[in-house]
């Protein structure tokens, strides 16, 4: 098939590349000429494991091209995917300004058989709004569908090529069959192809992210309660996770969620509920708990340092909101950085992928180290904000020598308390009893 993908952000680039890899001719369109020029050279503007190699391979095969010329991409296409950003507006609702500009721009170039598909995460009713808008401009019935994405940053290629399910929201059997044919190479293991109305498909995307966010906020609130009641959240998590009705997924306590999806999607769904006259009590609580959770570790560190926070040096491992990405949007690490800098502390940081993005915000206010151990030299403590694999099995003896004091604040619970006790560290984590060396207590 000939496919046009409008928008070369995270979702658009992954979508276009994966469709090209299954044998389709794909043209990705973006208004950012510099970005398109980089992509044409094989330079990938985001970090996603395996994506760079896949882009280069399909571009060299002639199946994947990049352009700023929307008309040249849309006119020959059987399917046009819209994959532009829908960020949060000031009131929490989704900002669809970029999407409507795309709809208006592509309308003159659509032929009657072209199917327009929304891949962007959009409020319920947007697909119907696109349908009405195109019909008004063209004076005929147009084909419009919804096909939400369920990609995890850091595992997007696997998620796309080996999906748990594919959801399509359509108004006709013909549109469903066209999309079924497109996705057939990715569904050979009998994973479901779920057909529903566009409104249900749009709602499915928001509800999936909101429910996962709810699980994270719930276990974080439980962890904070455990910390006050001498319980261990790891034991509690194991105790509930083996219940088949509950499971373990997304029940890992930490410093709160961030990224481009969960925060904005929870707020957007909450905004939709309010607009419909439904009070979003759970959704509002999920968002509030998460924002509060981002301050739990900073408060622990400030309490530990006391008046000496001014002039102290804090080392941080991890800046991205999760491992295997360079995305720092709403990352909990930024909350800690801001509080430490405001208190007069010095901050040294290390992250495998996200340092350039952080440097673009903070510049020389921070000290950056490619090697995690180097960030510890002369620091009063280490704070862990992202559970990168590189941080899981460090040289504890070297850490002891480099740190001024053997203190670790683990916001992701990546170490075992007994392991840290044996290594001689004072160790503080989320929802678990602290490890405080006997010598430290006696001083």
310-326 pLDDT per residue, tens: 999 999 999 999 999 99
For the stretch 32-61, pLDDT in tens is: 999 999 999 999 999 999 999 999 999 999
Q: What is the mean pLDDT of residues 400-408?
A: 97
Distance separating alpha carbons of residues 346 and 439, to the nearest angstrom: 27
For residue range 72-110, what is the model confidence (pLDDT) as tens digits? Answer: 999 999 999 999 999 999 999 999 999 999 999 999 999
Q: Say if residues 225 and 253 touch (Cβ distance below 8 Å).
A: no
Considering only CA atoms, which of 228, 230, 250 is closest in space to residue 241? 250
Q: Are 408 and 384 in contact (CB under 8 A)?
A: yes
pTM greater than the 0.85 cutoff = yes
Whole-number Cα distances in Å, 259 to 87, 252, 262, 431: 12, 17, 7, 23
* Average pLDDT taken over every residue of the chain: 96
- Looking at CATH, the fold of the domain delimited by 206-293 is given as 1.10.1040
Pick the CATH number of 296-442 from 3.40.50.720, 3.30.300.30, 3.40.1190.20, 3.40.30.10: 3.40.50.720
Going by pLDDT thresholds of 50, 70 and 90, the confidence category of residue 438 is confident
**Band (439; pLDDT cuts 50, 70, 90):** low
Question: Does the pLDDT of residue 441 top 50, yes or no?
Answer: no
Confidence (pLDDT) at 443: 39
The pLDDT > 70 percentage for the chain reads 99
Given this model, what pLDDT does residue 334 score? 98
Sequence-ordered list of residues with C-beta below 8 angstroms from that of 384, at least 6 positions apart, any chain: 316, 317, 318, 391, 408, 409, 410, 411, 412, 414
Contact between residue 206 and residue 268 where contact means Cβ atoms under 8 Å apart: yes
**What does the block give as tokens for 277?**
């006259």
Residue 210 is predicted with a pLDDT of 98
Residue of 28, 226, 261, 276 marked catalytic: 261
Q: Do domains 206-293 and 296-442 have the same CATH topology?
A: no
Per the annotation, the verdict on 261 as an active-site residue is yes
Taking 80 as the threshold, does the pLDDT of residue 381 lie above it? yes
Instruction: Give the mean pLDDT of 226-242.
Output: 97
pLDDT, tens digit, for every residue of 119-167? 999 999 999 999 999 999 999 999 999 999 999 999 999 999 999 999 9
CATH topology of domain 2-196: Rossmann fold (3.40.50)
How do the domains of the chain map onto residue ranges? 2-196, 206-293, 296-442
pLDDT of residue 440: 46
Quick check: 266 pLDDT over 80? yes
């Amino acid at each position: 098939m000939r496919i046009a993908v409008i928008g070369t952000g995270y979702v658009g680039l992954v979508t276009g590349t994966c469709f090209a890899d299954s044998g389709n001719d794909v043209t990705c369109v973006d208004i950012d000429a510099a970005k398109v020029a980089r992509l044409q050279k094989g330079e990938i503007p985001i970090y996603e494991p395996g994506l760079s190699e896949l882009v280069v391979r399909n571009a060299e095969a002639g199946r994947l091209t990049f352009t700023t010329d929307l008309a040249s991409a849309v006119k020959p296409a059987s399917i046009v995917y819209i994959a532009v950003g829908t960020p949060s507006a000031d009131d929490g609702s989704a900002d669809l300004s970029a999407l409507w500009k795309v709809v208006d721009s592509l309308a003159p170039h659509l032929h009657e058989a072209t199917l327009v598909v929304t891949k962007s995460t959009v409020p319920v009713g947007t697909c119907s709004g696109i349908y009405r808008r195109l019909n008004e401009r063209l004076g005929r019935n147009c084909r419009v569908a919804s096909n939400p994405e369920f990609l995890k940053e850091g595992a997007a290629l696997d998620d796309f090529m080996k999906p748990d399910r594919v959801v399509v929201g359509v108004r006709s059997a013909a549109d469903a069959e066209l999309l079924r044919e497109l996705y057939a190479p990715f569904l050979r293991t009998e994973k479901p192809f779920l057909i529903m109305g566009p409104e249900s498909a749009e709602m499915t995307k928001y509800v999936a992210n909101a429910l996962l966010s709810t699980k994270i906020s719930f276990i974080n609130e439980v962890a904070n309660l455990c910390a006050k009641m001498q319980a261990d959240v790891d034991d509690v998590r194991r105790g509930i996770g083996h219940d088949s009705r509950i499971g373990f997924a997304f029940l890992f306590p930490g410093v709160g969620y961030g990224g481009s999806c969960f925060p904005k999607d929870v707020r957007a769904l909450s905004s939709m509920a309010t607009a419909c006259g439904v009070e979003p009590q759970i959704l509002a609580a999920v968002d509030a708990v998460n924002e509060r959770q981002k301050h739990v570790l900073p408060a622990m560190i400030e309490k530990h340092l006391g008046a000496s926070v001014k002039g102290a040096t804090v080392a941080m491992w991890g800046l991205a909101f999760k491992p295997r990405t360079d995305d720092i949007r709403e990352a909990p690490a930024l909350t800690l950085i801001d509080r430490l800098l405001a208190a007069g502390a010095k901050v040294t940081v290390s992250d495998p992928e996200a340092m350039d993005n952080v440097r673009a915000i903070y510049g020389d206010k921070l000290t950056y180290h490619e090697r995690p151990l180097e960030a510890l030299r002369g620091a009063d403590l280490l704070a862990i904000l992202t559970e990168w694999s590189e941080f899981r099995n460090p040289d504890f003896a070297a850490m002891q020598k480099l740190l001024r004091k053997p203190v670790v604040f683990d916001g992701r619970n990546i170490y075992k308390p007994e392991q840290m006790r044996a290594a001689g560290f004072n160790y503080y984590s989320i929802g678990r009893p602290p490890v405080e060396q006997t010598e430290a207590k006696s001083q």
